Structure 1
Amino acid sequence: MELLKKCCKVRANSLLESVIALTIISICLYFAVLIFASVYTPKTSAKFYSTQNKVNELFYLSQIKSDSISNDENENLLIEEEAINENLKKISVQYKDSTQFKFEKSFYVQIPK
């Protein structure tokens, strides 16, 4: 019986070390999950950048070939022009991609005199 008590005796130091180690591991995992959640947002996805590039492309195409973009009846594309003053106009481009994510970007263009 005494032999069994000696074999099953757990020292307090090893138990305390285990609790401290688990606490440190839990804190590290908590920070890892926070960082992971803040890095992987919808604004950092490849689809977001693809849609943003498509909007930029449509704006530049509308500046080069304005008649071909405006004649295209695309329900996913909306280009609005607004005169701010006699030297400046605001062009807003709204585009919906295949996932129906609506992306809007505004461009300011200086009108030469």
Structure 2
Amino acid sequence: MASLRKFYNLRANSILESVIALSIISVCLYFAVMIFAAVFTPRTSAKFYNTQNKVNELFFLAQLRNDSLASENQNSNLLIEEENINEGLKKVSVQYKDSAAFQFDKTFYIQTNE
């Protein structure tokens, strides 16, 4: 019995250890939440990449002068602007707004043979 009392001595050290452990756990949870918030942003969502791929597709269709792009130009969510920067360089800006009203702008620079 005497040896059991020696191990069952509850002092302030165990409370201090508990507070330190809870502090360490809370700091780890804070960093986990911060990393989670940094990784899962709107720019890493599947919808962002889907819209980006749609803009790239529209740009390449505009370069091919495909007839299917003419029907896309009737859409008010799509705006394609071409601007000649200098003699051999042309700037093409594509603005596309998806169904969630997320506007994606992308600029392409094309070297011309003029």
TM (norm. structure 1) is 0.86
Partner of 1:89: 90
- Give the secondary-structure state (helix, strand or coil) at the position aligned to 1:91: strand
Aligned pairs for 1:26-45 (under 5 A) are 26-45=26-45
Deviations 1:17-62 (A, max 9, x none): 1111000001001111111111111111110011001000000011
- Give the secondary-structure state (helix, strand or coil) at the position aligned to 2:22: helix
Query: Shift of the alpha carbon at 1:71?
Result: 4.9
- Give the secondary-structure state (helix, strand or coil) at the position aligned to 1:79: strand
Partner of 2:17: 17
Q: Residue 30 of structure 1 aligns to which amino acid in structure 2? A: Y
Q: Distance in 2 between matches of 1:99 and 1:67?
A: 27
Q: Distance in 1 between matches of 2:71 and 2:37?
A: 43
Query: Shift of the alpha carbon at 1:84?
Result: 0.1
**Percent of matched pairs sharing the same residue:** 69
- Give the secondary-structure state (helix, strand or coil) at the position aligned to 1:32: helix
- Give the secondary-structure state (helix, strand or coil) at the position aligned to 1:99: coil
Structure 1 alignment gaps of length 5 or more = 1-8
Q: Report how many residues are paired.
A: 105
Partner of 2:4: none
Q: Residue 51 of structure 2 aligns to which amino acid in structure 1? A: T
Q: Residue 104 of structure 1 aligns to which amino acid in structure 2? A: D
Q: Distance in 1 between matches of 2:107 and 2:14?
A: 62
Query: Shift of the alpha carbon at 1:14?
Result: 1.1
Query: Shift of the alpha carbon at 1:66?
Result: 4.6
Consecutive aligned runs of 4 or more in structure 1 exceeding 2 Å deviation = 65-68
Structure 2 alignment gaps of length 5 or more = 1-8
Partner of 1:101: 102
Structure 1 residues 67 and 111, CA, compared in 2 at 3 Å: closer, same or farther?
A: farther
Query: Shift of the alpha carbon at 1:10?
Result: 3.4
TM (norm. structure 2) is 0.85
Q: Distance in 2 between matches of 1:66 and 1:77?
A: 16
Query: Shift of the alpha carbon at 1:16?
Result: 1.2
Structure 1 residues 85 and 70, CA, compared in 2 at 3 Å: closer, same or farther?
A: farther
